[in-house]
Amino acid sequence: SICWMKQLPKFVLTAAVCVAAWLVLLLEVGGVVLPGPLRQIVPYAPLLAVCCFGCYSLAYLGYRVMTFNDCDDAAAELAKVGALLCGVGGGCVFM
């Protein structure tokens, strides 16, 4: 589908702004001078961002799996369709 094309410009713009901000801090362009401890962290900021995004993604996925709703009606309907496909006593390759 073409739906993801609507999000692509937002993603590219956000990534460009983040990279530009990181380069300004890394190269200390425009009179930006960081204190010593922050100056040591800035080169590793992209790696830290990826790690934070991974932790957030795992936590979000775990939450969504824990709160997933059971669909008893859909399960019964799938069982009925499976029985129709396999026959009453025949061997079934679908189940």
pTM above 0.75, yes or no: no
- Position 32 scores a pLDDT of 85
Integer Cα distance of 24 and 6 in angstroms: 29
Integer Cα distance of 95 and 64 in angstroms: 27
What are the contacts of 41-47 at 24+ separation with CB within 8 A? Answer: 46/22
- Position 87 scores a pLDDT of 66
pLDDT digits (tens, 9 = 90+) for 4-51: 678 888 999 999 999 999 999 999 888 888 898 999 999 999 999 999
pLDDT band at residue 63 using 50, 70 and 90 as cut-offs: very high
Is 13 or 81 the better-scoring residue by pLDDT?
13
- Nearest CA to 25 among 33, 36, 16? 33
Here the tokens at position 70 are 């059971």
